[in-house]
Structure 1
Amino acid sequence: MVPQEKLAAESDTLEKNTQAEALLPYLPEVEEIGPNPSVPEALLKERFAKLEKEIPLRYHKSSHEFVEYFIYKKAEFTQTMMERMPLYFPLFEKALQKHGLPTELKYLSMIESGLNPTIISHARAGGLWQFMPATGREFGLYQDKYIDERFEPAKATEAACQYLAQLYRIFGDWELALASYNTGPGNVKRAMRRSRGTTFWTIYNVLPKETRSYVPQYVAMNYMMNFGYDHGIYPRNTEFQIPNDTIHINGYIDLAAFCQQSSINFEDLKKLNPQITKTILPDQTRDFVLKVPSVQYTYFVSNRNTIMDSCTRRFTAAGLLIAKVDSTKVDSLGANPSFPYALASNSTSSDDEEEDEMEEAPVSSNKTKKSSHTVRRGENLGAIARKYHVSVAELRRWNHIRRNDIRRGQRLAIYKEVKVAAPAKTTTRVALASYRAEEQPARKDRHIRKRYHTVQKGDTLWIISQRYGLEIGQLKKRNRIRGNSIKPGQKLIISS
């Protein structure tokens, strides 16, 4: 059922399922049209001609059968496709235009997946464009236990555009390219040799049955999305993209707890991030862009420390940076680009936290420095690991590499610890403030009783400030705290 073909002189082995699960059950139900079809042949020929752009929409008995099939037997499916068009078509059209491909290719995803971004076929093909695991990796779609980028609409669409462009370069014919997307270019070339045909319709009879139906289904779906209203099919509950902002995650996060604390509907989070396959992201997560509904984003920003304390492993590997949608800024807040979750165990420290770390060390401290390496022809993980004096296991973990597969041009992240000289002071600012407050009070304050708070596990500056009715700035100033780091057992001056 699932061919593994070589794209001659174009690529290594590529896999593709022969038919998307979304339409597999439908094929046996298609009936041949009789002498008096419900939709006149002349009408279809006229409308196909009007719709035709770059990709030929030839009238054929099979395409006629599928038009009537989508009108009468699968009207509900057709209606669902109309309802999901606004959700995905703007994305498809933008990507297709970027690659110089016909925009009418957007209808192909309806045949592949029924516009369901998380569907998986029996052959393990997944996503809107139904990539097999190996094919997805070939086109840069990352996959592991927690993340499967075949389900991420934008990245999967980008990969589909690259694959379709590659197939068109091979055949120079869009109908053959579509057939190849379904069954693999090797099967199409074999059919061309056997039949001595050079077009889809001249090799039609020697193609696999599923592929013979594939192009007519595409033609019929193109027709239904443009003329479905004329046959009494209308969208009822049209779907649109949920307005969203983004959060950059570094480290472990429990997404269910995050949603609960942020008042975010977990189903909305799943719709915005279909590539997440679990309810958590693991400790080794780096720079993952998590989309959150814009409606709850302001609440999250106002309560971010409390929320993140409840769903991350703060002292092991939790990390967070905030950014607006389509923005390269690290923090959309502007005023405070660094806060507690910006530091991950294997990533470069933020400025404030870096300074605190250096002050806490009596002589020197280790700072993690990130660099990158671009893979060259003939290089392997072993050679790269030796070059940077790291282990292969570390390279694989930092870059989410399974097995030892790397490709030329790939950029690998490298993390190395470097010694940072400490300031001449031998005590931390926090410790010094505590010492001054407890052991060496100024004479003028000798008769004034100071009020303290001992930091408990789970406390944050925000929680403490709310408890005592203070501003965070006041609390930090009184205790000479830079950054936002506090530790259990630490005593903080509340009033003096």
Structure 2
Amino acid sequence: MRISKKVLWLGAVCVGLWNSEVVAENMQPVVPQERLEADGDTLGIAAQADEIDLPEVEEIGVNPAVPEQLLRARFAKLEKSIPLTYHKSSHEFVEYFIYRKAKFTKTMMEKMPLYFPLFEKTLQKHGLPTELKYLSMIESGLDPRAISRARAGGLWQFMPATGREFGLHQDTYIDERFEPVKATEAACTYLKQLYNIFGDWELALASYNTGPGNVKRAMRRSHGTTFWTIYNVLPKETRSYVPQYVAMNYMMNYGNYHGIYAENPEYIVPNDTIHINGYINLVTFCETSGIALEELEKLNPHLTKKTLPDQTRNFVLRVPSVKYTYLVSNRNVIMDSCTKRFSSVMLARMDSTQRDSLGNSVVNSLASVAEEEEVADRIETKIVSKKSSYIVRKGETLSSISRKMNVEISDLKKWNHLRKSNIAKGQKLIVYKNVKRVVGQEVRVASTRTEKEKPQNKHSKHRYHTVQHGDTLWTISQRYGLPVNNLKKANKIRGNDIKPGQKLIITS
């Protein structure tokens, strides 16, 4: 027996498993002294921190490995509402984040101050364990604009359809899956639903990754009732998902002990908000207000274009607080410069002809755009509210109707004198929609007559729109100011289904 113990001991030394903790000479203290001593007592390791006030760091050998006993003890200390089960896979991921992905671990430490206050506040509001905040690190690497190969997006990686199901608006200009506050609200709602289904946090986390249907199928196939009893029949990615979460939880609490530190932590930029109604060019807005476009995009990651369209209503735009006073004092000048849709086209028209080095005439490409928009440029429009009615269908709620009609729930309640959100099938609701009314029809008539005198191709009035992810017939009709029926008739569409990449005729 003695010989075998010696052999095992020598083998452990050779592969770096005999991993006594040493003190780094130039490392700054980052962990309270009592926490270090407690670890030493638990593991039977001599706490050198009594002599030198510095944290202990695991020694990195030729073949580095963290002792199993160490991880089991620390997992037990960290565990709160969500089990942190020791498993070979979670052990491997701890070492992966220490030795192979130290840069990623460091980045996560640096981004914690940027998003964790929001996560903790929202999780507490929903009555969920605050340690769920580490899940977003596995999902997106705390990148609000992250998009997976499967088109899942945002901090919490919502698929487009799931995002819409949880109230995250998506169109050509805005994708609320990338908006940290709303996406975190949606993620908390979803996680709460999953926990209510399974009553087990490890199963809830697995189903967040692969879907509750896949988890239930794995339970039926294996006759298991816990994550670890269905582990072998889960998809490979999901088998790694919970262990990765456990490892990341560990690294954010014990990363300093392994020599990984947040050198340049990121913090929330103090910001204020302004409400946008109608068209705005965000590049021009930044130029005239002195705000860096990169900074504006960072504060508003859900903006997918550098403009917002005419139909924009009450969009909340975050701006740096240091620029807010200047914005308020110069609001008229700034907004006039960035809300005139045709200002750049007019400039192009004024200088539409240039000459190259040989003296030949060269037409500016924007000039042709100016000619196409000439009639529209002369026509003034104003926004008016048009009253219409909507009959509630089976299964509809105020929330689903508000999304369908592109109005706020509070407005629906106000228009229909509703105190609560309860509605019934067949109930008639009043809805007010903002529509454009053309002022100066005589200009359009005159220009149309002139055009009729000229020979034209029968398709000359047609424009085309390529369907994007999240587009519906309703949003496209609103964008171009067309009735949905006209859009369907022009494109010979019977139902309401359209597909990304489909080209639609937009008739004038």
TM-score class normalised by the smaller sequence: 0.5 to 0.7
Count of residues in correspondence between the two structures: 321
Q: Is the 8 A contact 2:385 2:432 kept in 1?
A: no
One of 291, 295, 312 as aligned partner of 1:264: 291
Inter-partner Cα distance in structure 2 for 1:380 and 1:231 = 52
Q: What is the TM-score of this pair, normalised by structure 2?
A: 0.59
Q: Assess if the C-alpha contact under 8 Å between 1:376 and 1:408 holds in 2.
A: no
Rate the CA distance shift 1:59–1:378 in 2: closer, same or farther, 3 A.
Answer: closer
Which residue of the partner structure matches residue 103 of structure 1?
A: 130
Report the residue type matching 1:191 in the other structure. Answer: A
Structure 1 position 285 matched with structure 2 position 302: no
In 2, Cα distance between the equivalents of 1:179 and 1:128?
17
Question: How far is the alpha carbon of 1:89 from its aligned partner?
Answer: 0.4
Give the counterpart of 2:432 among 396, 414, 422.
414
| Residues 269 and 292 in structure 1, CA contact (< 8 A), matched pair in contact too | yes
Post-superposition CA distance 1:160-212 (Å, at most 9, x none): 00110000011000000000000111111111111111100011111111100
The partner residue of 1:199 within 217, 220, 226 is 226
Conserved in 1, the CA contact under 8 Å of 2:280 and 2:341? no
> What are the within-5 Å matches in structure 2 for residues 153-172 of structure 1?
153-172=180-199
- Could you tell me how far apart the structure 2 residues matched to 1:71 and 1:222 are? 13
2:140 is matched with: 113
Residue in 1 aligned with 2:459? Answer: none
Which residue among 235, 260, 269 is the counterpart of 2:262? 235
**What does 1:14-413 align with in structure 2 at a 5 Å threshold?**
36=17, 38-313=65-340, 345-346=382-383, 368=385, 377=394, 396=405
Contact 2:387 2:430 (8 Å CA) reproduced = no
Give SS of 1:198's match. coil
* Structure 1 moving runs of 4+ over 4 Å: 369-376, 378-381, 395-399, 407-413
In the alignment, residue 110 of structure 1 is paired with which amino acid?
A: M
Structure 2 CA distance for partners of 1:263 and 1:409, relative to 1, 3 Å:
farther
Structure 1 pair 49–248 and aligned structure 2 pair: CA distance change class (3 A): same
Alignment-mate amino acid for residue 115 of structure 1: L
How many Å separate the matches in 2 of 1:237 and 1:372? 55
Give the drift of 1:38: 1.7
- In the alignment, the residues of structure 1 paired with residue 288 and residue 219 of structure 2 have an alpha-carbon distance, to the nearest angstrom, of 59
- For normalisation by structure 1, the TM-score amounts to 0.60
Cross-structure match for 2:32 = none
Shift of 1:414: 1.5
- CA shift for structure 1 position 313: 2.8
Q: Which amino acid aligns with 1:85?
A: M
Q: Deviations over 1:146-168 (max 9, x none)?
A: 00000000000000001100000
Letter in 2 for 1:174: W
**Equivalent pair of 1:129/1:156 in contact (CA under 8 Å):** yes
Query: How many angstroms does 1:368 deviate by?
Result: 3.6
Q: In the TM superposition, what is the alpha-carbon distance from 1:114 to its structure 2 partner?
A: 0.1
Query: What percentage of residue pairs aligned between the two structures are identical?
Result: 75
**1:398 Cα offset (Å):** 6.2
CA distance in 2, matches of 1:409, 1:145: 31
Aligned residues of 1:370 and 1:416 also touching (Cα < 8 A): no
Q: Which amino acid aligns with 1:192?
A: M
| Aligned partner letter, 2:74 | R
CA distance in 2, matches of 1:310, 1:68: 55
In the TM superposition, 1:463-474 aligns within 5 A as none
User: Over the residues paired in the alignment, what is the CA RMSD in angstroms?
Assistant: 3.2
Change (3 A) 1:412 1:193: farther
Unaligned runs of 5+ in 1: 1-33, 317-343, 347-366, 386-394, 400-406, 418-496
Most deviating of 211-220 and 371-380: 371-380
CA distance in 1, matches of 2:97, 2:178: 26
Question: Using a 3 Å threshold, how does the CA distance of structure 1 residues 94 and 314 change in structure 2: closer, same or farther?
Answer: same
SS where residue 274 of structure 1 aligns?
Answer: coil
Deviation (angstroms), 1:374: 9.6
The Cα of 1:302 is off from its aligned counterpart by: 1.0
Deviation string 1:189-240 (CA, Å, 9 cap, x unpaired) is 1111111111000111111111000000000000000000000000111111
Distance 1:398 1:55, change over 3 A: closer
User: Residue 247 of structure 1: SS of its match in structure 2?
Assistant: strand
1:232 is aligned with what amino acid?
G
CA gap of 1:374–1:63, structure 2 versus 1, over 3 A, is farther
CA distance in 2, matches of 1:157, 1:372: 34
Instruction: Tell me the distance in 1 between the aligned counterparts of 2:283 and 2:387.
Output: 31
Q: Is the 8 A contact 1:375 1:412 kept in 2?
A: no
Distance 1:249 1:221 in 2: 39
Are the counterparts in 1 of residues 16 and 65 from structure 2 also a CA contact under 8 Å?
no
Higher-helix-fraction structure: 2
The DSSP-based 3-state class of the residue aligned with 1:202 is coil
Query: SS at the partner of 2:317?
Result: strand
Which residue identity lines up with residue 213 of structure 2 in the other structure?
A: G
1:416 & 1:119 partners in 2: Cα distance?
A: 34
CA 231–262 in structure 1, closer or farther in 2 if over 3 Å, else same: same
Q: 1:86 to 1:380 in 2, by over 3 A?
A: closer
SS of residue in 1 equivalent to 2:229: helix
Deviation string 1:286-344 (CA, Å, 9 cap, x unpaired) is: 0000000000111111111111111003899xxxxxxxxxxxxxxxxxxxxxxxxxxx9
- Counterpart residue number, 1:447: none
Q: 2:119·2:133 contact (CA, 8 Å) conserved in 1?
A: yes
